[in-house]
Each structure stands twice: as C-alpha cells, then as structure tokens.
Amino acid sequence: MKIFSFTDRGKVRPTNEDALWMNGELGLFLVADGIGSSGRGQEASQGVVRACRDALKGTPRPDDLLPTLMRKANAALYEMAQEKGGSYGATAAILWLRGREARYAWVGDSRVYRLRGEQLDRLTSDHTRAEELVKRGAVPASAASKKSALTRSLGQNPNVEFSQGGPIEVQSADLFLVATDGVTDALSDEDLKGFLTKGPIGGSAAIRQAALERGGPDNLTAVLVEVEPPDLERTLEAAQIASILKEAASRETVKPSKMLPSAVLQSPAPQTGIGPFLKSIVAGGAKKMALEVILVAVFLGVAFLAPELLAMMGRRLESVPPSWFLIGGALLYAAVLKLRAG
C-alpha cells in the first residue's frame, strides 16, 4: 500500500480537534473529529484513538472488528462525560482493507471515498439533518447545506447507532480517502476527484493546500491509501489477525505501515506572556536566550560604532545621530525574530 496522511489545525481554530490512527499491518485506517468546547473536542478525538487502540487487547473477531472499535470508542467518550461532566463527542470513519475486500464504518459526517480510474464514489452518507432531508426527497442534493446539525455522534449516549458498509471488491490501483468534514466542507466531491487523480502523494498535498487556500475554517485530516497488486493477495485469516492484534496491543502505540511517512502535524500556536516565557527558560531555553542576548549586544555595538567605522573608511557621517543606527539595529533584530517565528 501507498499511504499518505495529514492533519492540520487550519487557519481559524486555535487547536486541532481532529485525530488519526492507522495500522498498516491490518490495513486499518481511522479519522476522528472531536465535538465540544474548552478543549473537550481535542480530548474526545484523542479518546477515540486510545479506545480503538485499547480495543485490540481483546483481540476481537474479524467479523466484529469494526463494530467493536465503534462501541469501545463510544463507551470511552460516554464514560469521560460521566466522570468529568459536560459532553465529549466525536465523529469517526474507519476503513479496513483486507485483501480483495474493503469494509468501513462511520458515525457523523466523517467520510470514506474510493477513486477507481476516473470514477469517484462516496461510500458513506453523512448522519446530518441535511442528508436526511435529501434521502426523504425534501430537498435536492445540490440545495442541501454542507454544514448541518449532526444526528449521530460518538459519546452522546450509552449505546451508539453507527453505519457499516461492505464488504466491497478492491482492485489494484484503487485509491481510498478517509477524511473529516473540515476537508469535505471546504472541497466538493468534484474537487476531490480532480486532486485524487494526482495519486496519493500529489493528491494529499493538493487537498491540504486547496482547503487552506479556501480559508481553512476547520481542522483538516485525511488519509489516502492506494492499493498495490501484492495487497490483493494478502488476505489475513482470523488466526493471523489475532496475532497482529496481540502484538499491536502489547506496544504503547500502534505500529504503522513501514511504507507510511510521518503524518504532517500542524505546529501548536505560539504562546505569549511572561508565564510561557519563563517556562521556556526552565524547559531548556537558556542557551537560546543567551544566544539572543549576544545578538542584541552585537546589534547595539554596531549601532553605536557604525559612524566611527564608516568614518575610518573615509565616509563622514558625523551628522547622522547614533540613535538612527540603534533603531535600524532593533528593526533588523525584530525582523530576524519574525522570520524565526514563521
């Protein structure tokens, strides 16, 4: 398999409330989108990942693997809400590629797509009020709102009603996309089709860039998986799956595919104020601070000595106040700091 993924905070939200989780040995791929405020959304999406990882310890039967993951994730979020108060919810979509067949499960508006040749199929249907209106024929699909209230999500009730699909046939060169609504709200299915025809590498980069160029109002997370010929012959039997599950569960984190590049994570927003500044010093920023002090001293020295140095070179600048050079040095130093901060 060729597997590429990314998760990005976007341009508006202060934190990334999305999460992704993969196990290339099993061909298992999940995205989760947390719901809530005051950090609850971020906790919820990470809770989904932890619950799915922990669910492997029970080595669920292959036919019950996806339902088990969904139920465990829902139970974990519901318990978090009972213990901490408030609400911890999330949407999720899981894809399982097993030889020549694929299965998938989802709740909420995270989606799974398959591109085969020039044909893009959306394999999931959103659990939203807008989608329900379309199914009932109350409104045409073209008129349905992209952003609509969820009718189902993880963590809201002791039991969750999720949807499943498959098994469906998998062919060589099939390209699957698992994505949160930050991607699919920003881009139409026609947009996604055009980007996915670039392949998993070019497609992942193009999807991320396009979503950000359109404002990036939400977190963005996607996994792209292209099936290669050897993958079709790798149909794991129950005993093999159980062995992989036991091995994966014994590790702190799930082992990704050897062909999986690191997920591209958005850097956290820089913190300001005296508190974070002091913490950075305690956390090992003393050397960097000393370097900056030296840079400041150099700039100040150049600012005060510049007239004399230039005079020695035959350029008389006695009429230029040293403060001008001081201001110029300070502006240059500020520019260096700005470039370093990005």
Q: What confidence tier does 270 reach under pLDDT thresholds 50, 70, 90? A: very low
Rounded distance between C-alpha atoms, residue 309 and residue 302, angstroms: 9
Q: Assess contact for 5 and 263: CB atoms under 8 A.
A: yes
Tokens standing for 185? 């709200």
Q: Where is average pLDDT lowest: 46-50, 318-322, 324-328?
A: 318-322
Are 142 and 198 contacting, i.e. CB atoms less than 8 angstroms apart? Answer: no
- Please state the pTM of the whole predicted model: 0.72
CA distances from 86 to 34, 41, 92, 152, 153 (A): 14, 11, 20, 17, 15
Question: Which of 93-102, 131-140, 277-286, 298-307 is most confident?
Answer: 93-102
Give the type of residue at 117: G
- Distance in Å from the first CA to the final CA of the chain: 35
**Residue scoring higher pLDDT (247 or 203):** 203
Confidence class for position 316, pLDDT limits 50, 70, 90: low
Using an 8 Å Cβ cutoff, are 30 and 20 in contact?
Answer: yes
Q: Report the chain's mean pLDDT, rounded to a whole number.
A: 80
d(CA 252, CA 97): 23
Q: Which two structure tokens, joined as six digits, stand for 102?
A: 């694929």
Mean pLDDT (whole number) for 142-150: 71
Rounded to whole angstroms, the Cα distance separating 38 from 134 reads 33
Q: Is the pLDDT of residue 69 over 90?
A: yes
Distance between CA atoms of 333 and 53, rounded to whole angstroms? 47
- The per-residue b/e assignment along 42-81, b for 16 or more CB within 10 angstroms, e otherwise, is bbbbbbbbebbbebbeebbebeebbebbbbbbbbbbbebb
Tokens 């950000």 belong to residue: 212
Confidence of residue 336 (pLDDT cuts 50, 70, 90): low
What is the per-residue pLDDT for 85?
A: 86
Q: Does domain 2-265 have CATH number 3.60.40.10?
A: yes
Distance CA 292, CA 241 (A): 54
| Amino acid at position 208, single letter | R
Q: Where are the domains of the chain?
A: 2-265, 274-341
State which of 146-160, 183-197, 221-235 shows the largest mean pLDDT: 183-197
Handedness of CA 206, 182, 40, 104 (dihedral sign): negative
Long-range contacts of 262-269 (CB under 8 A, 24+ apart): 263/5, 263/6, 263/7, 263/20, 264/5, 264/6, 264/7, 264/8, 264/208, 265/7, 265/8, 265/16, 266/7, 266/8, 266/9, 266/10, 266/16, 268/15, 269/9, 269/14, 269/15
